[in-house]
């Protein structure tokens, strides 16, 4: 059984050792996520090396996703570990540095008093506490506590509906990006994206250093929803960050927005990752809740390329079991997909040659009952185009490019393998048959569909389709 939906797992204290990393790969992890909101460069470099060594041991691509921190607005520290906000009382956010108490606390965005408006809603602590802006004077924003409760220092702040001028790339992000470029990460996720302009800024930094790194746009604020089409077009992939998104918009809207983002991403062939609280109960418990099982299955049914684990694999008691559980859920759900209906739904009215060939590859594979699709690809373009049509067969993506080998780890249904440079059609067909058998995707008498671009080695030129019997 070849799992098609990819699993992104965040690496942290409980998973940053060789034994656990190898077990997580065997369980079904495809991509490691490094959260640059936490940790130092030494810790992150150790995790990169561990993942690459383990991937090499299993002859399996393990992509490295660097998640940039972004402009997270936070409150400062309190005079003690936590305080209690009492509903109905006034609580002041100030841009003047101070030690917080029950009446006021520092906030780290100095332009906020000029950009927030009276009557604006302010959410603290991932939406657990709610304030209403009543008065703004100088450095101070005086608010009424609408939803109180306990709160600790350095918690995040959200401003639903407000459009702040703060940029998506901070000075820290730009410095962190240089670290990622130096150590050849495969993906960079940009946080709190507002428009395509934010993505282009990061692309220019990457291009300036001649790096091959794909950009993932995290959708987590209202501005991103408004500009979703431009963002998907500019990005290489999309991540639905449901945590902050559910604070920025009414939480009941998030499931519908998730489906909309997946649909738009599928239509353009851009991988889409669903994240946040997918197996949160497994931070402490060895089994998921029924709602979590449904959540993961529905993400697959909607068309997600990947699902993501966060604290489950950084701080949780069961990091390996969380990956195993997720792999089992997506694997079973994939068996129940109506692949013919998906193919017809994704049929486009206007196609270029490469897109038409990719559609035909999946259609022919379905009609002849092929066991595998073999895609010879230098840049990954051929495999990505086929992946968008969600074939029932595994896609054996053969490439001589090590970066392509790693980056295809994120695409639905793709199973990348390294091979020597392609040399002539007859040798390509022979190699495709041999490797299909070697990797147990097909056997003697089985049919496979081979696709590539001629001349070999030229990026983006998918124009060949061959059906063969082994």
Q: Which residues are catalytic?
A: 33, 74, 218, 276
Question: DSSP label at 351?
Answer: -
Starting at the edge strand found earlier in the chain, the sheet holding 447-453 runs: 414-418, 395-399, 372-376, 447-453, 462-469
Non-local (6+) Cβ contacts of 324 within 8 A are: 27, 28
If you search the block for the tokens 């079904």, which residue do you land on?
28
Non-local (6+) Cβ contacts of 383 within 8 A are: 375, 377, 395, 397, 408, 411, 414, 416
Q: Report the candidate in 314, 312, 300, 246 with the shortest Cα–Cα distance to residue 272.
A: 300
CB atoms within 10 A of CB 143: 25
Strands (E), 276-426: 306-309, 372-376, 395-399, 414-418
Residue 430: both structure tokens together = 């022979």
Q: Taking each helix axis from N to C terminus, what angle separates 319-335 and 290-302, rounded to the nearest 10 degrees?
A: 50
Q: Are strands 157-158 and 395-399 parallel, antiparallel or unpaired?
A: unpaired
């Amino acid at each position: 059984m070849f799992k098609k939906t990819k699993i992104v797992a965040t690496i942290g204290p409980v998973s940053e050792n060789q034994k656990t990393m190898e077990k997580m790969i065997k369980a079904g992890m495809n991509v490691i996520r490094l959260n640059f909101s936490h940790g130092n460069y030494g810790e992150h470099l150790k995790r990169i090396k561990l993942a690459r060594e383990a991937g090499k041991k299993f002859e399996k691509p393990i992509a490295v996703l660097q998640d940039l921190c972004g402009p997270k607005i936070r409150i400062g520290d309190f005079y003690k570990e936590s305080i209690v906000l009492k509903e109905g009382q006034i609580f002041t956010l100030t841009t003047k540095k101070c030690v917080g108490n029950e009446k006021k606390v520092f906030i780290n965005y100095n332009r906020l008093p000029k950009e927030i408006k009276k009557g604006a809603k302010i959410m603290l602590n991932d939406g657990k506490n709610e304030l209403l802006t009543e008065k703004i004077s100088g450095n101070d924003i005086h608010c009424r506590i609408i939803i109180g409760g306990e709160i600790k220092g350095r918690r995040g702040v959200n401003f639903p509906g407000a459009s702040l001028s703060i940029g998506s790339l901070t000075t820290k992000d730009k410095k962190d990006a240089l670290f990622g470029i130096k150590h050849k990460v495969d993906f960079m996720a940009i946080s709190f994206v507002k428009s395509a302009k934010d993505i282009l800024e990061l692309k220019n930094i990457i291009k300036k250093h001649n790096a091959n790194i794909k950009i993932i746009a995290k959708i987590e604020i209202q501005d991103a929803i408004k500009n979703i089409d431009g963002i998907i077009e500019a990005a290489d992939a999309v991540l639905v960050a449901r945590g902050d998104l559910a604070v920025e918009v009414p939480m009941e809207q998030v499931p519908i927005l998730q489906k909309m983002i997946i649909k738009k991403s599928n239509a353009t062939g851009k991988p889409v990752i669903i994240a946040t609280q997918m197996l949160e109960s497994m931070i402490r418990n060895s089994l998921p809740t029924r709602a979590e099982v449904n959540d993961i299955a529905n993400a697959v049914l909607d068309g997600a390329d990947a699902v993501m684990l966060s604290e489950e694999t950084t701080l949780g008691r069961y990091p390996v079991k969380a990956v195993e559980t997720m792999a089992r859920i997506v694997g079973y759900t994939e068996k129940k997909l109506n692949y013919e209906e998906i193919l017809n739904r994704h049929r486009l009215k206007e196609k270029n040659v490469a897109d038409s060939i990719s559609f035909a590859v999946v259609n022919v594979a379905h009609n002849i009952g092929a066991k595998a699709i073999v895609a010879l690809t230098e840049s990954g373009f051929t495999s990505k185009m086929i992946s968008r049509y969600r074939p029932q067969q595994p896609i054996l993506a053969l490439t001589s490019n090590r970066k392509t080998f790693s980056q295809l780890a994120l695409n639905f249904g793709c199973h990348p393998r390294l091979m020597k440079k392609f040399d002539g059609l007859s040798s390509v067909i022979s190699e495709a048959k041999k490797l299909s058998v070697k990797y147990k995707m097909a056997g003697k008498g089985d049919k496979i569909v081979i696709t590539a671009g001629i001349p070999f080695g030229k990026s983006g030129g998918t124009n060949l389709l061959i059906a063969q019997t082994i």
